[in-house]
């Protein structure tokens, strides 16, 4: 049906304006639905933010459930220019006197000097092959010193090639005697058509690596630990000499001529700082989550305005449960039964504080008992630690599909979707009502117009009749 246009000329009324006012009345439910949607969106957004903060809190809780957080070890060296060290959780608390007698070096070979590193090298037979660490490298009679250097590097044969003052220099990628190039080892350093001799990387007479060619010999690192001598490694790292401790030797600690030594004392102790840092991170995130919940459940008496979750029983129970988990007694016996006993307290405003000194002292006195205050599980200890309890509760809140918060978010999504469908239904009805009004007013306009036309005809007829009567009388 074609759209009808209402002029209002027949009636003298603003028919379009009247229709708009009538339609506006019909649209009032839409405004109510939109208001509801806005409120649901705000509430949904608040719960989404709550979920985000609780998710971060759960991440901090995870660290408090790990034994490694409390059993961490730290290694300190008295002279880091000589040796540094790292310690795993299994390392014993002890002090190690480390004497460095030699450091691990890579082998370095230098060939003869050429006038031009970019010119083809005379004396090389076409398509010759050299072998380095069982990797074949094809050398052409048109190759320059630079070409050969590039081919060796591209071959990834365990050596690095470079050009220094037009000398080809080869250096093994790995340190230690076992990684040195050796013509007596099969596939280690094999000449073909005297290519290596031409480069003077092998002696032209003996075909061996001479002292003149080997500008730096490969060597193993050697250290003494607590008087135990002859401890060697092909690298400057010793990871098997002491269980759980890795010693890293400075390559420049001593000269490898056996004439000097270097000394450092390495002490391994508890790393209480790691646990304290993890607890502080938990405290900070707990305060962040609770502060956010306070803001979303607040009522401002001065402005008489309620926050979006004010009066929400779920939010209130959540806060109460979190506070209960950190303030209640964890176990019935021992020196450390509550978080307060290790320096974690909550003031009257619900703000958590952390005394790291008190915590560190407790951890040093009884590391296992303090750790179990957080990470104990009932299957092994007969009770659950605070971190275990809170992690379980947060899972109930946030677990996908089944958690309280995801289900609540789904509820808001469904309500918003339903209200949008209601709005569409109202819009369809409003449009039908508008069309009905247009048709009714159009019919009224047409009827009045027709009536006005008939009235005009009748008046003209009456006027005509009156004129004829007068003429006949004259």
Interval 1-55: pLDDT, tens = 444 444 544 455 566 767 667 667 777 777 888 888 888 888 888 899 999 999 9
Q: Are 206 and 257 in a shared domain? A: no
Residue 295 in domain: yes
> By residue range, what is the domain housing residue 39?
1-72+271-444
The tally of domains found in the chain comes to 3
Residue 328 in domain: yes
Residue-wise pLDDT tens digits, 239-255: 999 999 999 999 999 87
Residue-wise pLDDT tens digits, 114-148: 999 999 999 898 889 999 999 999 999 999 999 99
- pLDDT score, position 3: 46
Residue 460 in domain: no
Q: Are 342 and 426 in a shared domain? A: yes
Provide mean pLDDT across the span 315-319: 92
Kindly give the pairing relationship between strand 73-77 and strand 237-242: unpaired
Provide mean pLDDT across the span 170-180: 97
Q: Are 143 and 210 in a shared domain? A: yes
* Strand ranges inside 208-351, DSSP E: 214-216, 221-225, 228-233, 237-242, 245-249, 262-270, 299-300, 305-306, 344-346
Q: Are 93 and 188 in a shared domain? A: no
Q: What is the rounded distance in angstroms from the CA atom of residue 227 to the CA atom of residue 394?
A: 53
Is 90 exceeded by the pLDDT of residue 200?
yes
Q: Greater confidence, 327 or 39?
A: 327
Is 70 exceeded by the pLDDT of residue 232?
yes
Q: Are 181 and 251 in a shared domain? A: no
What is the reported pTM? 0.68
Task: Go through 302-321 and write b for each residue having 16 or more CB atoms within 10 A of its CB, e for each that does not.
Answer: eeeeebbbeebeebeebbee
Residue 297 in domain: yes
Residue 452 in domain: no
Q: Are 38 and 50 in a shared domain? A: yes
Q: Are 83 and 184 in a shared domain? A: no
Q: Are 427 and 352 in a shared domain? A: yes
Measured over the CA atoms of residue 447, residue 448, residue 451 and residue 456, the dihedral's sign is negative
Residue 450 in domain: no
Residue 375 in domain: yes
- pLDDT score, position 255: 73
Q: What is the rounded distance in angstroms from the CA atom of residue 453 to the CA atom of residue 431?
A: 32
What integer best gives the mean pLDDT of the chain? 88
For the ranges 111-115, 330-334, 429-433, the lowest mean pLDDT is seen at 429-433
Is 80 exceeded by the pLDDT of residue 466?
no
Q: Are 275 and 325 in a shared domain? A: yes
- pLDDT score, position 13: 59
Q: Greater confidence, 470 or 389?
A: 389
Is 70 exceeded by the pLDDT of residue 56?
yes
Q: Are 290 and 393 in a shared domain? A: yes
Residue-wise pLDDT tens digits, 430-460: 777 777 767 676 677 667 767 767 777 777 7
For the ranges 204-213, 267-276, 407-416, the lowest mean pLDDT is seen at 407-416
422 pLDDT tier (thresholds 50, 70, 90): confident
| Packing angle, helices 272-296 and 313-327, rounded to 10 | 160
Is 60 exceeded by the pLDDT of residue 113?
yes
Provide mean pLDDT across the span 306-311: 86
Q: How far is the CA of 386 from the CAs of 26, 289, 392, in angstroms?
A: 57, 17, 10
Q: Which two tokens stand for residue 468?
A: 């004829």
- pLDDT score, position 209: 97
């Amino acid at each position: 049906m074609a759209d009808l246009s209402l002029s209002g000329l027949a009636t003298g009324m603003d028919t379009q304006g009247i229709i708009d006012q009538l339609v506006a009345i019909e649209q009032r439910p839409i405004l109510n639905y939109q208001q509801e949607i806005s409120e649901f969106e705000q509430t949904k957004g608040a719960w989404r933010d709550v979920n985000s903060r609780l998710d971060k809190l759960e991440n901090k809780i995870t660290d408090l459930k790990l034994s490694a957080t409390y059993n961490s070890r730290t290694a300190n060296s008295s002279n880091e220019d000589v040796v540094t060290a790292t310690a795993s959780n299994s390392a014993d608390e002890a002090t190690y006197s480390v004497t460095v007698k030699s450091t691990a070096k890579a082998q370095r070979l230098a060939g003869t000097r050429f006038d031009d590193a970019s010119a083809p090298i005379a004396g090389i037979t076409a398509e010759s092959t050299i072998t380095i660490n069982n990797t074949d490298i094809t050398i052409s009679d048109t190759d320059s010193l630079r070409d050969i250097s590039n081919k060796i590097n591209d071959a990834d044969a365990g050596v690095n090639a470079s050009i220094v003052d037009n000398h080809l220099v080869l250096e093994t990628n790995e340190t230690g005697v076992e990684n040195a190039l050796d013509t007596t080892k099969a596939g280690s350093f094999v000449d073909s058509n005297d290519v290596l001799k031409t480069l003077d990387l092998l002696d032209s007479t003996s075909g061996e690596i001479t002292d003149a060619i080997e500008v730096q010999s490969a060597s193993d690192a050697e250290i003494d630990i607590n008087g135990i001598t002859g401890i060697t490694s092909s690298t400057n790292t010793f990871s098997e000499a002491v269980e759980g401790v890795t010693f890293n030797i400075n390559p420049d600690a001593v000269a490898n001529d056996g004439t000097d030594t270097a000394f450092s004392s390495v002490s391994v102790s508890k790393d209480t700082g790691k646990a304290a840092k993890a607890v502080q991170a938990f405290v900070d995130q707990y305060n962040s989550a609770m502060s956010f919940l306070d803001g979303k459940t607040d009522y401002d008496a001065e402005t008489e305005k309620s926050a979006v979750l004010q009066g929400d029983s779920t939010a209130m129970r959540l806060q109460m449960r979190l506070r209960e988990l950190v303030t209640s007694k964890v176990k019935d016996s021992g020196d450390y039964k509550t978080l307060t006993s290790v320096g974690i307290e909550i003031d009257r405003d619900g703000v958590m504080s952390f005394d790291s000194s008190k915590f560190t002292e407790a951890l040093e006195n009884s590391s296992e008992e303090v750790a179990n205050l957080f990470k104990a599980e009932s299957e092994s200890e007969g009770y659950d630690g605070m971190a275990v309890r809170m992690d379980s509760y947060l899972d109930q809140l946030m677990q996908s599909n089944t958690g309280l918060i995801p289900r609540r978010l789904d509820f808001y999504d469904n309500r918003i979707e339903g209200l949008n469908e209601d709005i569409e239904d109202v819009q369809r009805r409003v449009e039908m009502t508008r069309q009905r009004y247009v048709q009714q007013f159009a019919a009224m306009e047409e009827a009045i117009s027709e009536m006005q036309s008939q009235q005009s005809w009748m008046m003209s007829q009456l006027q005509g009749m009156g004129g004829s009567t007068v003429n006949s009388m004259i």
